[in-house]
Structure 1
Amino acid sequence: MPSGLSFMQAAGGQPPPSWEADWDSGYAVLQVDPRELFYHDLQLEEGKLWVSRLQSQSLQALYEGGEHVYSGWQDVPTWYLITVEDRALALVAQQAMAPMAKAAGADIVVRELQSGHSPMLSRPDEMAGLIEEAVKDMVIPLPAK
């Protein structure tokens, strides 16, 4: 997120078609099958397991608190993973984030993975490889004695 903006401010203020804001309960309410949204690239039973572990998303966390948001990616090298088959966060939105960060001065490396929203579950080996690559890329060697 850009500094000073809540998640929804940065996203344009309106929820996507996949959920709606239920101000009476204070939570986001999904309008689609969460397995299809977050876990479509997992086996059916595994996807159902992860759906059973989901908890309600507070609207307050989405709409408020922007004044406390700081864009750490402006100060530290950052990696951003685009999940090409993501149904929860549109590919076009993901592809816009890194260039915006670069334009704001970020030192950012972008990688893509052919996965849905939860690559740590659907592509764990590839995800681990990307994390290892990022760590190696960011480690600054100590000077020789």
Structure 2
Amino acid sequence: MMFPLDPGYHLYTDVSPSEQQRWIKKLRKCPGNTQRDPLTQAGYLEHPVTYLFCEGDAALPLEVQKMMVEGVKAMGGKVEEESCEASHSPFLSMPERVLEVVEKAAKTA
């Protein structure tokens, strides 16, 4: 099972301590095989994708996010790219930016 050692830091850096605690209480352990088992069907190769780079992400540093997107592109996926200054959970700290990205993706799909 996987669970971040410091979820406040890794997942919720840019929200208040009380909000961090609220969301930490909702986290559940994730089976480790979700990170190790081979992928059998990659939806991101068959459907439009927009990736929101989170520049302040402590769980997935920006360079790792860029490597992931480049990996998808190398497999033939098409990825629209957007960015924000948020940490790992922009839907909490920058919901307006997330909504803007979703609306733009919906208009171009």
Provide, for residues 19-53 of structure 1, a one-character-per-residue CA deviation record: whole Å limited to 9, x for no partner.
xxxxxxxx12433x211110010011111110111
CA distance in 1, matches of 2:29, 2:18: 21
Deviation, 1:69, is 2.6
User: Once superposed, what is the RMSD of the aligned Cα atoms?
Assistant: 1.5
| Secondary structure in structure 2 of the residue aligned to 1:47 | helix
SS across alignment from 1:89: coil
* Counterpart residue number, 1:21: none
Query: Do the aligned partners of residues 53 and 107 (structure 1) sit closer, same or farther apart at CA in structure 2, a change above 3 Å counting?
Result: same
Contact residue 3 and residue 28 of structure 2 kept, 8 A: no
Q: 1:72, CA displacement in angstroms?
A: 2.0
Asked if 1:59 is matched to 2:45, the reply is no
Q: 1:98 to 1:61 in 2, by over 3 A?
A: closer
For structure 2, the 5+ residue unaligned runs are: none
Bigger RCO (CA 8 Å, 6+ sep): 2
Could you tell me which residue of structure 2 aligns to residue 69 of structure 1?
A: 40
Aligned length: 109
Give the structure with the higher percent strand.
1
Match of 1:118 in 2: 89
- Take 1:62 and 1:100, find their aligned partners in 2: how far apart are those partners? 16
TM-score (norm: length of structure 2): 0.89
Residue by residue, what CA displacement relative to the aligned partner does 1:65-89 show, whole Å, maximum 9, x if unpaired?
x2x5312222222111111100111
Is residue 104 from structure 1 mapped to residue 78 from structure 2 by the alignment? no
Partner of 2:99: 128
Report the equivalent of 2:22: 49
Q: Quickly say closer, same or farther: Cα 1:53–1:71, change in 2 above 3 A.
A: same
Gap change, CA 1:127 and 1:51, over 3 Å in 2: same
CA distance in 2, matches of 1:63, 1:75: 22
User: Larger Rg: 1 or 2?
Assistant: 1
More helix by share: 2
After the TM superposition, which of the residue ranges 33-42 and 72-81 deviates more from structure 2?
Answer: 72-81
Report the equivalent of 2:4. Answer: 30
Same amino acid, percent of matched pairs: 27
